[in-house]
Amino acid sequence: MQRYHVPKSARTLTLLVAAAALWWRPFRIAVDGQSMAPALHQGDYLVATARGRPRSGAIVVVERPDRPGLEIVKRVRAVPGEIAGGRLVEAGELWLTGDDPARSTDSRTFGVVARSAVRGVVRFRYWPPARFGPIAPPPA
């Protein structure tokens, strides 16, 4: 009887990858709408991680404050200590906008968002293959 063994280095790598996945808790997001154009388009598929600190310019998945249960994808425009929407963003708050203001319902409509409403930070796009990779920086 022939036995197949996985080399110790491969087992170690597998364990490290599994531990990283458990720590970062990645999840998939499908973009629905054009509010984040030109960075994101309808039908883009993204990977976000539940761990991570949303910084100014990052794209996040957040529960919409005025519609519980609805998750939206927006860009962080202001973090605590910065001014947005004519007010100072305080600790535990974020100011979020879409990249296409004419098509976006965001903090200009529903105000600041609690940091606790953030479900994850978007890391990269995996579909369509021609646009695979990290997300483009915010438009100027």
- pLDDT value at residue 23: 56
37-40 long-range contacts (CB < 8 A, ≥24 apart) are 37/99, 37/100, 37/103, 38/99, 38/100, 38/136, 38/139, 39/75, 39/99, 39/135, 39/136, 39/138, 39/139, 40/73, 40/99, 40/125, 40/135
Q: What is the pLDDT along the chain (140 residues), one digit of tens a residue?
A: 555 655 666 566 555 555 555 556 788 999 999 999 999 999 999 999 998 888 999 999 999 998 999 999 999 999 999 999 899 999 999 999 999 999 999 999 999 999 999 999 999 999 999 999 988 666 55
Structural domains in the chain, sorted by start: 25-134 (2.10.109.10)
- pLDDT value at residue 75: 96
